[in-house]
Amino acid sequence: MKKYPLLSFFRGHLYTALVVRLGIAMGLFSLARILFYAFNADLYPDMTAGHLLHLLRHGLRFDLVAVLYTNIVFIVGYIIPFRFRHQAIYQRALAWIFYLTNSIALAMNCVDMAYFRFTMRRTTWSALEEFSNDRGNVALMGRFAAEYWYLFILLAALVAGMVWLYRRVPVCAVPLIRNRWIYYPVGTIAMAVSMTLFVGGVRGGFAYSTRPITISNAAACVNRPAEIGIVLSTPFSVYKTLSRTAYKRLSWFDSPEALEAVYSPVHRPADTATAFTPKNVVIIIVESLSKEYIGAFNRELDDSTYTGYTPFLDSLITHSYTFAHSFGNGLKSIDAMPSVLASIPSFPEPYVLSVYSNNTIRGLATLLAEKGYDCSFFHGAPNGSMGFDAFARMAGFQHYYGKNEYHNDADFDGLWAIWDEPFLQFMAQTLDRKTEPFFATVFTATSHHPFRVPKAYEGVFPKGTEEIHPCVGYTDLALRRFFATASQMPWFANTVFVITADHTNQVSYAKSKTAIGAFLIPVIYYDPSGGLAAKVEPVRVTQQIDIMPSLLGYLHYDRPYFAFGFDLFSADTTRNFAINFGGFYNIYAGDWVLQTGDDEPVALYNYEHDIMLRRNRLQAVAEAPQAPLQPLLQYFRAFHQQYNRRLIDNDMTVDAADDY
């Protein structure tokens, strides 16, 4: 070693030892994933070697997060810039912390090698909580140990290998930098760099648009939901659900018949004699498009002089079927994807962040693909942003077009995504090369904080009263030019378009700042062929989760399917309601909204005549016998009971939906 002093320096350096020892943990986690597959290979009869390697490679991202979380105390112990880190007793303490924490993590992985086939999910924190409340735990654990004794031998071998490898990594007994005036500043800088790398590692990247990686991201690389178990690790699943609430079974309705009589998410076509209509479908989810921005919905504002910021959408609405009362089912971008594309609301937490996010679902793309549709999702951000690619794959989309596929960073806004105007043109040109019928969804991006427009458009759009208003004007122009381009293409006349928002954003008027104003978004259906009446529906309420069943109804989809929303083109208008969560649950029907907690109603308003929600009718129902308190309460309870039960039991497809 004296011949290579630099190599000797790094061989005994603290940070070298830290990286190598974390690498040991990574290797063991990857080995555990391979063993997981080996124990459960019969669940994957069509697995090829190439696809397995693909899944294992993607699993490294999740292992990195799990290893960093598992070893957070160990890492901090290594990077704090004090000289006692080199002392033997301190290093022995760190070694035992490493052995203990990683042994527990490996034990979690070993348990799921056997337990996975009973649940088809990696174990989460909520599952551990359920076991902790089970009085039969001791007997159950004893039975498990007897039946799967070989897993304990396997765990012992993994732990022994870990200890043996750990001890092969040397650490110098004295600081390699002797001068304390250099040691402490260098150590402080190294600690800051290490923490930055740690944060990037547990988030899954450093990009501004990167949302912290969750269990739902595993869907981005699988062909079917069961393969998610190979990509994830059990420690990752437990850590990522520590703060997630497991839903409770509810029993307001004590029989399936009583529950189904009020509300059911299983849709069965009433008219199977009418042939399926294979129209193209294009859904446009506009980032932060509050209903307030659209003049056509707010003519009464400013003494009836309000024009809004969307002249193109105003003109399109005169040829479209839309609604006076339309609501979002969530308040975040990640809420919109499952709501719009799979009719799954966020109720109350984001579905894609819940412990049930890897449930088996059959989204709109899945159902249309079975009818021969080419299904594509477009989002101009770097691929992986917000986990959109993962959910798109889970929802059944065959193709994903992001910044990577756009191939021109000159149109990148520098922070979030490709500017809306060029990206929508890219979408139109891409669709023109598709074989009909096709289904496409685009999620725009420009009307997002920090609310910038391309330099060529600075000062072009009305400044308005909020930062976002020029961005809304720009996106409206981008939509105008998209439709101008698409209208010249042969597929346009055979296409039904839906324009909606992911959620609301900055608003100026009081009516948009109430508990229900926070959910006011547009839902616009446009068929250039004239198949839809041009009208603003004055009574029936709608929501994002109604888009999937309404489109299927409009196309005369002839098979049963699962959706939490309603078909707004159905002749049955008797039990249509909307629902969302904003601190309280809001349940809308007709002119009325009921606000309730889990157990008791809080307020009842006629929001059509009391838009500011000043007069709570809950305590004065006698004064307004027409107030539908009991029907709204029944709707809420039936929906809530169905939602919880379906998610808990992974019962969200029509094939399984017949069993209560």
Q: Note the pLDDT tens digit of each residue in 370-391.
A: 999 999 999 999 988 877 888 8
- Band (142; pLDDT cuts 50, 70, 90): low
Structure tokens at 119: 């649940």
- Superfamily for domain range 292-317+337-536: Alkaline Phosphatase, subunit A (3.40.720.10)
Residue 412 is given by DSSP the state B
CA trace torsion 26, 27, 31, 34 (10° rounding): 70
Q: Which pLDDT does position 182 carry in this prediction?
A: 76
Q: Which fold has domain 572-660?
A: Arylsulfatase, C-terminal domain (3.30.1120)
- Dihedral angle sign, alpha carbons of residues 245, 650, 548, 438: positive
What are phi and psi for residue 649, nearest 5 degrees?
Answer: -90, 5
- With contact defined as beta carbons under 8 Å apart, do 306 and 511 qualify? no
- Band (240; pLDDT cuts 50, 70, 90): confident
Q: Which of 14-18, 181-185, 493-497 has the lowest mean pLDDT?
A: 181-185
Q: Tell me the pLDDT tens digit for each residue of 563-617.
A: 999 999 986 765 689 999 877 789 999 889 998 887 788 889 999 899 988 888 8
Q: Which pLDDT does position 349 carry in this prediction?
A: 80
- Band (552; pLDDT cuts 50, 70, 90): very high
Q: Which pLDDT does position 387 carry in this prediction?
A: 79
Domain boundaries, the chain: 5-240, 292-317+337-536, 572-660
pLDDT at 9 exceeding the cut of 50: no
Q: Which pLDDT does position 630 carry in this prediction?
A: 87
Q: Which pLDDT does position 135 carry in this prediction?
A: 43
- With contact defined as beta carbons under 8 Å apart, do 497 and 321 qualify? no
pLDDT at 121 exceeding the cut of 90: no
Q: Tell me the pLDDT tens digit for each residue of 285-319.
A: 999 999 999 999 999 999 999 999 999 999 999 99
Q: Which pLDDT does position 624 carry in this prediction?
A: 54
3-state secondary structure 10-65: HHCCHHHHHHHHHHHHHHHHHHHHHHHHHHCHHHCCCCCHHHHHHHHHHHHHHHHH
Distance CA 99, CA 93 (A): 10
Q: Which pLDDT does position 617 carry in this prediction?
A: 85
- Band (12; pLDDT cuts 50, 70, 90): low
Rounded mean pLDDT of 408-418?
A: 92
Q: Which pLDDT does position 239 carry in this prediction?
A: 85
Q: Which of 8-12, 237-241, 636-640 has the lowest mean pLDDT?
A: 8-12
As a whole number, the mean pLDDT across the chain is 87
3-class SS of residue 398: coil
Rounded mean pLDDT of 487-499?
A: 98
- With contact defined as beta carbons under 8 Å apart, do 440 and 366 qualify? no
- With contact defined as beta carbons under 8 Å apart, do 631 and 589 qualify? yes
- With contact defined as beta carbons under 8 Å apart, do 210 and 203 qualify? yes
Distance CA 504, CA 313 (A): 16
What percent of the chain lies above the pLDDT cut of 70?
Answer: 88
535-558: b or e for each residue (b if 16 or more CB lie within 10 Å)? Answer: ebbeebbbbbbbbbbbbbbbbbbe
Distances (CA, A) of 459 to 290, 301, 453, 473: 22, 24, 9, 11
Residue 67 C-beta-side C-alpha neighbours within 13 Å: 23
pLDDT at 175 exceeding the cut of 70: no
Residue 102 is given by DSSP the state H
Q: Which of 89-98, 171-180, 604-613 has the lowest mean pLDDT?
A: 171-180
Q: Which pLDDT does position 621 carry in this prediction?
A: 64
Question: What is the rounded radius of gyration, in angstroms, for the C-alpha atoms of the chain?
Answer: 28
3-class SS of residue 454: coil
Q: Across the chain, which distance is largest between two alpha carbons, in Å?
A: 95
Q: Which pLDDT does position 625 carry in this prediction?
A: 57
